[in-house]
Structure 1
Amino acid sequence: MCAIELEPVLSTERLRLRRPRKSDAERIAAFCNDFDVARMTTRIPHPYGLADAEAFLHGLDDQDPLTAATFAIEHPQDGLVGVMGFYANEAGRTEIGYWLGRPYWGQGYATEAARRALVWASRDWGRRFVMAGHFSDNPASGEVLCKAGFLYTGEVRLLASAARGEDAPARMMVWLA
């Protein structure tokens, strides 16, 4: 594995994936304060304010580049439209998570970003498999992951959802390089 670039910038046909910055806080807060965005993630609480976004961004400074990478998903005209990241799950395996602001749903941006991020994770970060999960009541996320090359494992797990305030069933998936 080559040396890890600490702040990679990845490009797709329509998007740029880059490190989130402090100037993204207002857009992150606005998108994540939408309950329908937050409830489909494990970590985003609801309500979600500017202080939450600033704390999230500040926390990235402590992120270990050997085990985690976070990207702002940026549209050239609109700016930040979502966030995608890799992190070590409770078993120490690399897992991917993401969200998009509601105005950007259904346009293929999550699939496009995931495909590019996975190429980076394999070629530059040395990952041979990546885990993912989506809440069972979010089949659109399952479609994104399938289109990005993930396969269902057959496992359904109860995962905490900060926004929902309770556990919800999630369908687990794996991507193999």
Structure 2
Amino acid sequence: MCVIETSPVIETRRLTLRAPRPQDASRIARLANDIEIARMTLRMPHPFTQGHAEDFVLQVASQNPARANTFVIEHEDHGPVGVIGMFEDRDPMPETGYWIGREYWGRGYATEALEGALVWASRKWKRRALVAGHFADNPASGRVLEKAGFLYTGETRRGFSSARGGLTDTRRMVWLA
């Protein structure tokens, strides 16, 4: 019998990945209300309000953990610094995505969180592969994915970015456990 963790916690050297809590909403709203973050995602609107953050926390709480897991990325000294998620979508394998608050860019938090999430996904969530994508004009995200072991598939997809209000090219990558 497979037991599904309903609220997993992932520990890395500097970070804890955990379910978002209602008290995280104001911090999430403050960090996510940055056009430079929102424009590098498909779904995140800009401006990103307190109401969006509260809706996000509620939506995550209602996820089916067999199909999706979303975590606040919490730093031991700074508190929440971003979000990472893994979810089943239109691809045959789950997809992962993440964002880090701008004031925390360049510190390796995205890579560390992604590596921790991948270990959890393979050991506890029992996934053997994940896909990801990054916008063609966001090579920094591509480097994070490469450091975590993702490889380019050669596929580029056009997708609608809510914050950009238009289509953008997404370079697709895959990770194999």
Deviation (angstroms), 1:5: 1.3
Partner of 1:8: 8
Deviations 1:5-49 (A, max 9, x none): 111111111111111111110111111110001111111001110
Cα distance in 2 for residues equivalent to 1:78 and 1:91: 35
- TM-score of the pair, normalised by structure 1: 0.97
Matched, 1:126 2:130: no
Counterpart of 1:45, as a letter, is P
Partner of 1:97: 97
Q: Tell me which residue corresponds to 1:52.
A: 52
Taking only aligned residues, the RMSD between alpha carbons, in angstroms, comes to 1.0
Q: Give the Å deviation of 1:92.
A: 4.9
Q: Secondary structure of 1:160's match? A: strand
Q: Give CA deviations for 1:32-70 in whole Å, capped at 9, x if unaligned.
A: 110001111111001110000001111112201111000
Amino acid at match of 2:62: D
* Gap runs ≥5 in structure 1: none
For 1:58 and 1:92, the matched residues in 2 are separated by 26
Structure 2 match to 1:160: 160
Question: How do 1:1-177 and structure 2 match up within 5 A?
Answer: 2-177=2-177
Return the alpha-carbon distance in structure 1 between the equivalents of residues 28 and 96 of structure 2.
Answer: 18
What TM-score results when the alignment is normalised by the length of structure 2?
0.97
Q: Identity over the aligned pairs, expressed in percent?
A: 57
Maintained 8 Å contact 1:84/1:98:
yes
For the residues of structure 2 that align with 1:59 and 1:30, how far apart are their CA atoms?
18
3-state SS of paired residue (1:7): coil
State the one-letter code of the partner of 2:155.
E
The CA deviation at 1:144 is 0.2
